[in-house]
Structure 1
Amino acid sequence: MKEKTSLIGDTLWRICLVAFAISIIVPLLWLFYESLKTNREFFRDIWALPEVLQWKNYAKAWETFKFGQVFFNTLYYVGGSLLLGTFLTAINAFALTRIQFKGRAFIWSTIMLSLFLPGINALVPQYVLMRDLHLTNSLTGLIILDSLGESVFFLLLLSGFMQSLPKELEEGAFVDGASLFQVFWKIIMPLSMAGIVTVGIFKFIGLYNNFLGPFIYLGDESKYTMAVNMFFANARMQYSSDWVTLFAGVVISMLPPVILYILFQRKVMEGATLGAVKG
């Protein structure tokens, strides 16, 4: 009886997972084949397949939405924020988990308290600070803002990896004359690489999809990132109604994070699971 109940439960869970997968895959497939239609076909029947595949919609979307410049802006913003932000997260996690100092418990308490504060509350003081430092309308300013604005989730995730490493590793390194930074760079960093990769992938997806920050701080169209560019592309549709070109642009904009996740999905799952076990 117990085995039968377990089998029914497993079957229900699988049905729910399949339904959830379908709810994600079907809209993506619909978006893709709509991008291969003409506007006439789209307005005539949104469910019908295209009579002739209109691959030229992608060339038109690339030119219309200036994806060349947008991809360069996004690469600079995401790449800079990812490298600097991940390094700062790693060094913060190292300091809070491997170094004993006065006030460490207070810092951890303050960090945990920040989980209960909506991030939108910091929007006004952040903007005033960025304006006074002349960092508005600057991709470099956005990199500084996103890198220094530590995420509690990433800090806790990476701390779980570093906290589980044996203390004897760094004690032996100190005996051999290694400095504190050498211990971090040559011992802790390599051993925590699974967690760093996991944090890096999550940071990439978050930065690539980040809309609010670039929307508020960037006023020059030539500096728009992908999320802001697609927002204004969608807004322009009320005047042009060229929806198939917009769909092609959306497909193009989705490719980088989708490809990244396909390539690194195993590392993400392994890293998240390992972090849960170690933490």
Structure 2
Amino acid sequence: MKEKHTWLDAVWRILLYFWALTIVFPLCWVLYESLKTNPEFYQDIWALPKQLNWQNYADAWTDYGFGKSLLNTLYYVGGTLIVSLFFTTINAYALTRMEFKGRNLIWGLIMLSLFLPGVNALVPQYVVMRELGLTNSIPGLILLSGLGESVFYLMLLGGFMRSLPKELEESAIMDGASLFQKFWRVIVPLSTPGIVTVAVFKFLGYYNNFMGPFIYLSDPEKYPIAVQMYSANKQMEYTADWVTLFAGVAISMVPSIIIYMLFQRLLMEGATMGAVKG
């Protein structure tokens, strides 16, 4: 049977198109502004560039440090993602697939953390990091970010794992599998869509993280992309080289776009399955 469309459907579709346009247009504007010269930018910010000036990207990569900061970001995000994803996966497994005393109490304490603003932990975290000699250190920042847990990711991945049949684990036990073997060889492969979903969300969160690196890193050579963007923006007060800054913004968007394009299908599958089955 052919689905009937009402005028309300058309209104919603127009609103969605308009919403998409508000997202895409600023990105396109940044891209063609990054290919202008500064005189063209100040003459008319809406006009297209007369000639594509790719030198802006070379200047942003070297002179404004976006190349170095991008490498720092990939190091920081990659290391943090490995550490945090392992702990999130194993914590979700323990809290949803294992029966032990105090599990509900632990869940209650974790849910209670939703009502505590994260900014309240900045001062004690900084004191601990300073005493351990981990300030101004990317590995220290990886440990701080990676060992921190988020209720949202636990609930998302836990809901996905909870939907898996218990008979799978029972079969593994009959075959002589240990607790870790059940987790690693049965649960993890079946939870791949959910794990990928959490990984993409975590990647975007760490990639755009500004407050942590800004507080704990004092050496500009160690800045990730978010802090470097802030630093370059402050330089505009003296240089007013906005087209090069736009080129840096365009460079910073590339990793996120690539990650989304590579994992789009698994991201959608994991998000919807976790929501429906959890």
TM-score (norm 2): 0.96
Deviation at residue 158 of structure 1 after TM alignment: 0.3
Cα separation, 2, equivalents of 1:133 and 1:179: 36
**Residue 263 (structure 1) shift:** 2.3
State the shift of 1:47 in Å: 0.9
Please give the per-residue CA displacement for 1:220-252, whole angstroms capped at 9, x wherever unaligned. 111110101111001100000000111111101
2:181 is the counterpart of 1:182: yes
Aligned partner of 2:206 in structure 1 is: 207
Aligned to 2:77: 78
Does 2:268 correspond to 1:269? yes
Q: 1:22 — aligned with what?
A: 21
C-alpha distance in structure 2 between counterparts of 1:220 and 1:228, whole Å: 11
**Deviation of residue 66 (structure 1)?**
2.1
Deviation at 1:113, TM superposition (A): 1.1
- Aligned equivalent of 1:48: 47
Which residue is 2:108 aligned to?
Answer: 109
Are the equivalent residues in 1 in contact too, given 2:157–2:198 (CA < 8 A)? yes
Equivalent-residue separation in structure 2 for 1:257 and 1:229 (angstroms): 17
Q: Deviations over 1:53-78 (max 9, x none)?
A: 11111111111122332222111110
Output the amino acid matched with 2:226. A
Deviation at 1:50, TM superposition (A): 1.1
Q: Which amino acid aligns with 2:9?
A: D
Counterpart-to-counterpart distance in 2, 1:133 and 1:73: 22
Counterpart of 2:191 in structure 1 is 192
Q: Which residue of 2 aligns with 1:87?
A: 86
CA contact (8 A) 2:196 2:263 kept: no
SS at 2:96 equivalent: helix
* One-letter code aligned to 1:140: P
Deviation larger for 124-133 or 209-218: 124-133
Could you say what secondary structure the match of 2:18 adopts? Answer: helix
Distance 1:27 1:177 in 2: 57
Cα deviation, 1:3-50, whole Å, max 9, x if unaligned, reads 98x612211111111010010111111111111111111111111111
**What is the alpha-carbon distance in structure 2 between the residues aligned to residue 13 and residue 123 of structure 1?**
42
| Residues in 2 aligned to 1:82 and 1:59: alpha-carbon distance in whole angstroms | 29
Q: Offset of 1:176 from its aligned partner? A: 2.3
CA distance, structure 1, for counterparts of residue 66 and residue 44 of structure 2: 29
Which position in structure 1 is the counterpart of 2:32? Answer: 33
Partner of 1:258: 257
Aligned-residue offset at 1:266? 2.1
- Between stretches 251-260 and 172-181, larger displacement belongs to 172-181
1:51-104 deviations in Å (ceiling 9; x for gaps) = 111111111111112233222211111001111111110000000011111100
Q: Distance in 2 between matches of 1:34 and 1:67?
A: 17
* CA–CA separation in structure 2 for the residues paired with 1:18 and 1:259: 23
Equivalent AA in structure 2 for residue 268 of structure 1: L
1:233 corresponds to 2:216? no
Report what 2:149 is aligned to.
150
Taking the aligned partners of 2:178 and 2:202, their CA distance within structure 1 comes to 29
Alignment correspondent of 1:67: 66
* TM-superposed deviation, 1:259: 1.8
After superposition, give the CA deviation of every residue in 1:141-164 in whole Å (9 maximum; x if it has no partner). Answer: 111111110011111000011111
**1:271 Cα deviation (Å)?**
1.1
In the alignment, residue 115 of structure 2 is paired with which amino acid? F
Q: Deviation of residue 170 (structure 1)? A: 1.4
CA distance in 1, matches of 2:46, 2:175: 69
The answer as to whether partners of 2:97 and 2:162 remain within 8 angstroms in 1 is: yes
Equivalent position SS for 2:6: helix
Q: In 1, Cα distance between the equivalents of 2:64 and 2:177?
A: 52
Q: Please name the residue that 2:129 is paired with.
A: 130
1:156-175 matched pairs, under 5 angstroms = 156-175=155-174
Cα distance in 1 between the residues matched to 2:221 and 2:36: 29
